[in-house]
Structure 1
Amino acid sequence: MRRVFLVAGLLGLVFVSSSASAAGAKVPKAAQGVWAEGGKCRGSTVTITAGTLKYKGSKPSAVYFAPKESPRGYGAIHYVEEGNVDNFEYAADKDQLLYNPEGFGMGKSVLYKRCR
């Protein structure tokens, strides 16, 4: 019986640790700000803070930054909530975002440029 509790406790610790580390990776200051598709800032925008992303008028959602996860070699901003595969790659060298609405390698990426 003790062994069952020990295994359950260790598994719980693993799951808590992995989600805590994902939630703890803040979006870099350089990637934070207001962005718009193709730089058309008078339309719908995306606002990114250190820990949230507000997509085109929706309420802000918790996000985290994975610095080496992008297949293009950029860092990627992901939603903390399970089930969301879409992401934003931050191209620091170009100060641009690439939005992947269906996840990496699926569909066409959409270019976002900084508004402010």
Structure 2
Amino acid sequence: MKQIACFALAIGSLLAWPAADAANQPCSGRKGGIAQCDGDTFICNDGSISASKKSCQATFGGRQGLMAAPKRAAPAADGSCNCRSGTYCTGPRGGVYCLSDSGNKSYRRK
């Protein structure tokens, strides 16, 4: 009986442990994780921008590999504003966005 109680306690503690790490992170879920930083903005593996209010530079402390130099240049000659390249377009009502890998607009938060 004592072994069953110890086993139940061990299983219960293992099931409760991941809940502490279940907080949302930038680019979590379908976005596939963080690909790189564009200044304070997180660029996700699916090519979109994270809506996180955290600072990417502060999170990674300037660590090389995730940091990319921000490019605030005008869109490419073909009119594309790819999130991975760091180029942004401005919409007709002033929204700043870029295009994810799937071609969807990903807006920067204000």
TM range (shorter): 0.3 to 0.5
More helix by share: 2
Q: For the pair shown, which has the larger CA radius of gyration, 1 or 2?
A: 2
- Structure 1-normalised TM-score? 0.33
More strand by share: 1
